[in-house]
Amino acid sequence: MKKIEFIIGSLEIGGAERHLSQILPTLKHMGFSIKVLVLSDRAPLKPIFDEAGIEVNLGLNLDWMPFILRKPWRLITSLMRLTISFLKDRHTIRHVFLPEAYLLTAIAARLTFFSGFLIMSRRSLNDYQQRRYILGKLERFMHSFTTKALGNSKAVVNQLYAEGFLPEKVRLIYNGIDLYSFQNLPSKQELRESLDIDQNSLIFIIVANLIPYKGHADLLNAISRIHSKLPKKWNLLCVGYDAGILSQLKEQAYALNINDHVKFLGKRLDTSLLFAAADVGILCSHEEGFSNAILEGMAAGLPMVVTNVGGNAEAVEDMCTGLVVEAKNPKLLAEALLSMALSSEMRTKFGQAGKKRVQQFFTQEQCAKNYAEFYQTLNSF
């Protein structure tokens, strides 16, 4: 039985965290011994792991400390926890998600002369390395001590090659989602009644945390260009937690005179219901690895309008399951959204094709199977 410790910064409601919350219970059911080491105490998704019987070890609560000291102290304590973990257990496979956790884990592995399996999963494009040049250089240096690297899109995998990973050390495993929550959904009419959404309104939806690179500002600009051509009743639902730009986006919507139509719903766990109540799904990010939100929109039968970054165009086939447009281009985004808005036939055709595509290629079961096959290729040491 393979023993695997997954290491991640938090269990917030983000893409990588939600991915683990879906895949790890399936892997445990398949016979793997699973535990999770979380570097912080932020863990709203922890009940999902608890219900699956997966051990989760959280970091310390540092809310009592002055804000300026919290991050450096968390980094120090996280490195100590990781170092102790490596010293106590030399044989468990370590699988790390997200850059900060990867960097700290790689350092701890070097400090303890760990010679076991250290796996890194890259979930996004490496644009963040350009913003943090020194940390990016250090991360690339640590690649030489990493056993394998997993990417969730061809775009990510190609960047891992460019960073120095040999082809035999890299593998592509696409995301997969649990389709159960998209089965036997109430009718759109019932969903809209329960969510207090107008039955006759055209509903756009974007599920993405309010982070600048997710492109919400581009989206508001795009819709402002076409709102006079949209049906009289329309709404944009923005689902995701505020990472500091909510007030800015609200001011922008007000300045563009579309604020009455834009609803910021915060972070939600009922995204399947929100998608199913909508008409058009959107992801207009500037950088992306491979988005579960796109897959969820497709699973709900929505046509998707996405930007051509990362794996977006690997999930959404242009002019087949949705429309793919250039990133950071509100004009092209507006044109795509207007095309969707004015053609119910296009929405239905693309939505049905997208649903079939998810069922065929991007299920949780297929993703977990790919992980299991990957772990089984790691020889004992």
Mean pLDDT of 104-111: 95
Q: What are 260-287's pLDDT values in tens digits?
A: 999 999 989 899 999 999 999 999 999 9
* Distance separating alpha carbons of residues 305 and 302, to the nearest angstrom: 10
| β-bridge pairing 234-239 and 202-207 | parallel
| Rounded percentage of the chain residues whose pLDDT exceeds 70 | 99
CB-CB contact of 264 with 249 (8 Å): yes
Q: How many CB atoms lie within 10 A of CB 377?
A: 8
- Total number of residues shown for the chain: 381
Asked if pLDDT for residue 257 goes beyond 80, the answer is yes
Asked if pLDDT for residue 82 goes beyond 60, the answer is yes
Asked if pLDDT for residue 18 goes beyond 90, the answer is no
| β-bridge pairing 118-122 and 170-172 | unpaired
pLDDT for the residue numbered 129: 80
* Distance separating alpha carbons of residues 347 and 351, to the nearest angstrom: 6
pLDDT for the residue numbered 379: 74
Mean pLDDT of 70-78: 94
pLDDT band at residue 15 using 50, 70 and 90 as cut-offs: confident
Mean pLDDT of 77-106: 95
pLDDT for the residue numbered 375: 96
Asked if pLDDT for residue 31 goes beyond 90, the answer is yes
Nearest to 290 by CA among 160, 181, 173: 173
pLDDT for the residue numbered 133: 80
Q: What are 321-363's pLDDT values in tens digits?
A: 999 999 999 999 999 999 999 999 999 999 999 999 999 999 9
Q: What are 185-228's pLDDT values in tens digits?
A: 899 999 999 888 899 999 999 999 999 999 999 999 999 999 99
* Distance separating alpha carbons of residues 271 and 120, to the nearest angstrom: 28
CB-CB contact of 251 with 273 (8 Å): no
Domains of the chain: 3-176+364-376 (3.40.50.2000), 181-361 (3.40.50.2000)
Mean pLDDT of the chain: 94
Q: What are 139-159's pLDDT values in tens digits?
A: 899 998 899 999 999 999 999
Asked if pLDDT for residue 313 goes beyond 50, the answer is yes
pLDDT for the residue numbered 381: 38
Q: How many CB atoms lie within 10 A of CB 349?
A: 14
127-142 in b/e form (b: 16+ CB < 10 A) is ebbeeeeeebeebeeb
Nearest to 148 by CA among 4, 337, 30: 4
pLDDT for the residue numbered 135: 82
Mean pLDDT of 227-242: 95
